[in-house]
Chains A and B, each alone.
Chain A
Amino acid sequence: MIVIAGLETIPEIGKRHELLARARLAANAHDFARARQLCDEADRVASLARTRLAARREREA
């Protein structure tokens, strides 16, 4: 198992990957509206992840 040190402090990264996996499933099932919605949600979560990552870097610096 590959462990990313500090990932537990940025749970949004895992959450985003989960949303993208669901978006892929929806897209494969031709549920495009749902897939787009999940991509949008993933983008919002990614933005949170970036904010957290920047804050974490600042704290550790």
Chain B
Amino acid sequence: MTTDYERLSIALERGDDDTAMIRAFIDHEVSIANGTAATADNQFTQGGILSADAFASALQRESARCLRTRDPIAVLVVTLERELEAEEDLRLAMQLRELAGNTGDLVGRAENGYAVALPWIDDREMRPLARTFEAMVRSIVRDQPIRVGAISAVPTQEDLESFAMPALRRPTQPAVTRSRGR
């Protein structure tokens, strides 16, 4: 068995990004606590998750890594009919940050909603996480209608070129899943 240098290098690269993100998150939270919140880079929301632009760009970077190593990446996304109140947003952000606990995991805003991306999570592993994700959102939004989308796939070049979030489904319908040969 020969050493898989590509994967090892990518694991190091992923860790570099993660360290930078944790440090940026700390700086963001500390500046909020000091009342000097610098919003110049707009990387994080007030709730401490990635802004929609930062999330999309981090997800594209992570998907490109998964494409190189032929690993799956799971993406969970929810859209809401109305923006959450600041306090609800904070509570949901805190819960979602717990779901995205590993190196390379991402949590951020999506259009009219929230999203979590988890590299290396395949379709089978994703299902319980998708249920937890939906339960977390429901515990915050209560009766507000939501749409949830979940996908786990090995990204293709086409995915990267026409980058888009997974299709959304109503919770009552079967999960939209897509499988590809690895």
Contact = CB atoms under 8 A, between A and B. Distances in A.
Q: Is chain B's binding surface mostly helix, strand, loop or mixed? A: helix
Q: Is chain A's binding surface mostly helix, strand, loop or mixed? A: helix
B81 interface: no
15 contacts: A4-B8, A5-B7, A6-B3, A6-B5, A13-B11, A17-B11, A23-B22, A24-B22, A24-B101, A27-B22, A32-B29, A42-B19, A46-B12, A46-B16, A57-B5
B26 interface: yes
Interface residues of B, number: 28
B80 to A, nearest CB: 23
Contacts of A5: 1-4, 7
B2 to A, nearest CB: 6
B68 interface: no
Nearest to B98: A28
B103 interface: yes
Interface of A: 2, 4-7, 9-10, 13, 16-17, 20-21, 23-25, 27-28, 30, 32, 35-36, 39, 42-43, 46, 49-50, 53, 56-57, 60
